[in-house]
Amino acid sequence: MMFFADPAISLSDKLLECVYILIGLITIYAGLKNLFDRENPSRFGTFVFWTSFGVVCAFGHWLPARVSGALVVLMILPAIFRRVNKGRQDAPAKEYTHSQFQKIGMKIFLPALTMGVFSLLFALFTDISALVGVALGVLLSVILLMCYSRDNKPVTFLKDSERLLSMMGPLCMLPQLLGALGGVFTAAGVGDIIGRLVSAVVPEGNVTVGIIVFAVGMALFTAIMGNAFGAITVMTIGVGAPCVLAYGADPVVVGMVALTCGYCGTLLTPMAANFNIVPVAVLDMKDRFGVIKKQAPVAVIMLAVQIVYMIVLH
């Protein structure tokens, strides 16, 4: 409790820690539920994965770094050996969901909108993390859904949270791991290495060629990392700063458009699992790369447009 009573720690950090604790407890529940589910063919591996993840998420602030690291290593072992599976799922029948839709109609999108609105409000008008805003939006969404139907009890949301986690499996860890990978690449000096390689190809002072290399590199590096926010740090150090910004380009325009170029790479990679692989699992699609195949033409067109846009406005 010393953490929450410490006046030197901001309210945002304290509330954010509460969010992580809640997420961790839900994840631990997922591990315990699968441990006692005899229909799960890999219940022990699934238990180890979700429980280790939950303990680090909920209590990582107070755990020694080596303990957290050991738990992360332990967590990934069942995933590597494909011993993380979903057990018995209590999904609602199609007839029930259809009847609920007839009753609720388009109001079903209001809870999702609530989460987005609160995230923006917290990000724009407070000093508290937007993730806390999302959590508050989720709480209000739960209340709305309980008002929609008496069948929606607190335990319903707990079970559905576990069901969604089990459907995604280890893929749900990719955003966190890829975000950390961006920091590792930056600390390791990958951007400087890319800069030396690019400087041998891009003519000095040719901003147009620098922009093209920067934009295409953002898309490719994002496809490799699955995260445009991680890629832009590395690519800006290696290409953007020495080949574009150094010659007077507007950093606001270049930065925003470069991120959009990175998002084009997001549309093309399975590494962006939360966008391109999770929907496949949730919708039970037969083609694992079906989402990426549909997005590929749009991504290529968008990348070309963004390159022209950056050249014109830089």
Higher per-residue confidence, 292 vs 184:
292
Question: What is the CB neighbour count within 10 angstroms for residue 163?
Answer: 18
pLDDT for the residue numbered 46: 93
Question: In this structure, is the dihedral angle defined by the CA atoms of residues 266, 270, 289 and 83, taken in order, positive or negative?
Answer: negative
- Contact indicator for 82, 75 with CB cutoff of 8 Å: no
pLDDT for the residue numbered 298: 93
Half-sphere exposure (Cβ direction) of 49: Cα atoms closer than 13 Å: 26
Find the range with the poorest average confidence among 74-78, 155-159, 230-234.
230-234
Question: What is the CB neighbour count within 10 angstroms for residue 267?
Answer: 23
Instruction: Name the residue among 314, 132, 134, 149 with its Cα closest to residue 240.
Output: 314
Element (H, E) at 92: none
Task: Look up residue 300 and give its amino acid.
Answer: V
Q: How confident is the model at residue 27 (pLDDT cuts 50, 70, 90)?
A: very high
Higher per-residue confidence, 58 vs 249:
58
Residue 244 has pLDDT above 70, yes or no: yes
Q: How far apart are the first and last CA of the chain?
A: 51
Q: What is the mean pLDDT of residues 182-208?
A: 74
pLDDT for the residue numbered 179: 67
- Contact indicator for 51, 31 with CB cutoff of 8 Å: yes
The per-residue pLDDT of the chain, averaged, comes to 85
Question: What is the CB neighbour count within 10 angstroms for residue 52?
Answer: 23
Half-sphere exposure (Cβ direction) of 287: Cα atoms closer than 13 Å: 6
pLDDT for the residue numbered 55: 94
Q: What is the mean pLDDT of residues 285-304?
A: 89
Residue 144 has pLDDT above 80, yes or no: yes
What is the C-alpha separation between 24 and 55, in angstroms, rounded? 6
- Contact indicator for 289, 270 with CB cutoff of 8 Å: yes
- Contact indicator for 229, 199 with CB cutoff of 8 Å: no
Phi (first) and psi of residue 226, to 5 degrees? 80, 10
State percent of the chain over pLDDT 90. 25
Residue 171 has pLDDT above 90, yes or no: no
pLDDT for the residue numbered 90: 76
Residue 275 has pLDDT above 70, yes or no: yes
Q: How confident is the model at residue 50 (pLDDT cuts 50, 70, 90)?
A: very high
256 token code pair: 């925003």
Task: Look up residue 203 and give its amino acid.
Answer: P
Instruction: Select, from the ranges 69-73, 198-202, 269-273, the one with the highest average predicted confidence (pLDDT).
Output: 69-73
What is the C-alpha separation between 310 and 215, in angstroms, rounded? 9
Q: How confident is the model at residue 19 (pLDDT cuts 50, 70, 90)?
A: very high
pLDDT for the residue numbered 288: 79
